[in-house]
Amino acid sequence: MNRRNYLLALAFTTILPGLALAQSKTLRLVVPFPPGGATDVTARTLSEPLSKLLGLQVIVENRAGAGGSIGMSEVAKSAPDGMTLGVATLSTHGVNPAVYKTLPYDPIKSFTPVTEIVKAPGVLLINDKLPVKNFADFVAYLKANPGKVTYASPGNGTIGHMWGELFKSSTNTDMVHVPYRGAGPALIDLLSGQVDASFDQVTTPLQHIRSGKIRALAVSWPQRLSELPEVPTFAELGLASNNDPSWFGLVAPAGTPPTVVKRIQMAVAKALQDPTVRERLAQQGLFASGSTPEEFAAQINKEVDKMKRISKFANITLN
């Protein structure tokens, strides 16, 4: 460790006495999805600055499977000492509790929220074969052709599926859901015209939107994205309930001391101020957040309630 990093770590050791642990101690960041995805990139982007700020070795462990449930279950069963954290997502702490009959964890009771790390805008996409030019045209076309338009998602009970059903509920329209095994195959068929529309995070299809191969009709974000300035937000179009983006955050096992939770949150907030960290996240279409534990707890509660309403509307249930 060079002198600058030593002093930085020493400063945080002084500020964060509960995490002034021996260098041999290791903090685990459990990612409940495979390597290479946006969740994994987020964790690995944070691991290095957190190691320096906390004076610990921070390692990322991928525990994929069952829509994130396997990894989250491991976190829930870990010791509440601040040395194991999970990267929670809208899927693990919003969608899964709403659509699965049973889960090996409770999104509220099994964890202590630490902080929201990033937000990720969503987008409504259509292929260029549909005879519509904008959002209003698309809704009118759906009403004139109920049940004839298809929309793709990464699979049953995924965020894309939930966003599609929320759209149908909000606009009083009908589309046929076509589930795929991942966002990549869904995008391929949207590009080829095998399906008509899709709901996704904006990162995955951005280059194809820019090339004109597919069209973005609306984004879920507080304001128009600088990358897509001509695309309105759902709120602009009168659909405020559709305007919530996706997100990733950190959770600790239930019972983790509040002082430890707050100290980790402070370190994450500090890391997210680093321009290099913010730029690496932005390259993935992710916007740094850094909320308080209390704000993140309220966010999780809100998402669980919202996803349960969507699940009930669309009768989405998974074993």
pLDDT at 8: 43
Q: Pull the structure tokens for residue 134.
A: 């904008």
Q: Could you tell me if 8 and 63 lie in one domain?
A: yes
Residue closest to 75 by CA, chosen among 247, 251, 265, 248: 251
**203 and 133 co-located in one domain:** yes
Q: Domain of 27?
A: 3-120+245-314
246-288 pLDDT per residue, tens: 999 999 999 999 999 999 999 999 999 999 999 999 888 899 9
Asked whether residue 136 falls in the same domain as residue 94, the answer is no
Regions of the chain where pLDDT drops below 50? 1-24
Provide Rg for the chain, Cα atoms.
Answer: 20
Q: Among 242, 275, 300, where does a domain finish?
A: 242
pTM score: 0.85
pLDDT of res. 283: 83
133 and 172 fall within a common domain: yes
Q: What is the pLDDT of residue 15?
A: 43
126-129's contacts with Cβ under 8 Å and 24+ in sequence apart are 126/196, 126/197, 126/198, 126/214, 126/215, 126/217, 127/190, 127/191, 127/192, 127/193, 127/195, 127/196, 127/197, 127/214, 127/215, 128/212, 128/213, 128/214, 128/215, 129/193, 129/196
- CATH code assigned at 62: 3.40.190.150
Are residue 73 and residue 173 in the same domain, yes or no? Answer: no
| Residue 13 confidence (pLDDT) | 44
pLDDT at res. 11? 45
pLDDT for 58-72, tens place per residue? 999 999 988 899 999
**Spatial distance between the Cα atoms of 295 and 232, rounded to a whole number of angstroms:** 27
